[in-house]
Amino acid sequence: MAETRTEALHQNAEGLDIQAPEAVLSSLANAQIEAANAVHGAIPAIAAAAEIIASRLKSGGKLAYAAAGSSGLMALADALELPGTFGIQRDRIAILIAGGEEAFKTLAGGPEDDTEKASAAVAAADIGKGDCLIAVSASGSTPYAVRAIEDARRRGASTIAIANNRKAPLLRLADIA
C-alpha cells in the first residue's frame, strides 16, 4: 500500500524535539493555517452535509458517527456537543467507535481493522432509512469506518465521509464527502 499523506512524516517534523520552542510553535501555527485554508475548498460539501443531517434529524431520524482511534475521539467530541448546543436528544445520536468503550482508555490499533464489529455496531444502533451516518478516518481507508459506511448505506441511511486523503475509499463510498 502506498504511503498516504496522513501516514507520512511531515517535512517540518524532522528534528522537532531539538528545535527551539518558537520554531516548533511557528510550525504548528502554520499547519493550523494550512488546515483552515483546506476547509475553504470543502465548504460546498460541508454545507450539503449539514443540510442532509438537519433534514434527517427534523424527520425524526438518528445521527451516527463511525470512526476509530484519534478520529473516533474527534467524532465523540463532536457528538457530545450536539445535545447542549443544538438540543438534539441524546438517544438520537449513536457513536460507533472501533473497540467500544475500551477505546477511551487505550487507542489500540487492532479494533480499527475489525469489520465484523463495525457491521454489528451499525445493526445494533439500528441505522437505516431516514438516518445519517458520518464516517471519520484520517486516512480514509480505516476498515472499521469503511465497513460502517457500506453497511449504513446498504441499510438505506444517508452517508457522509470525512477524510484527509482525496482519493480515499471512504470518500468514494459516501453520498457526501
Active site residue 101: no
Query: From CA 151, how far away is CA 119, in angstroms rounded?
Result: 6
Contact between residue 143 and residue 112 where contact means Cβ atoms under 8 Å apart? yes
Task: Burial-class residue 101 by CB neighbours within 10 Å (0-12, 13-18, 19+).
Answer: exposed
- In the set 7, 14, 51, 81, the catalytic residue is 81
How many of the other CB atoms lie within 10 Å of CB of 135? Answer: 34
**CB half-sphere exposure, 59, CA atoms < 13 A:** 14
Active site residue 81: yes
By annotation, the residues acting in catalysis are: 81, 112
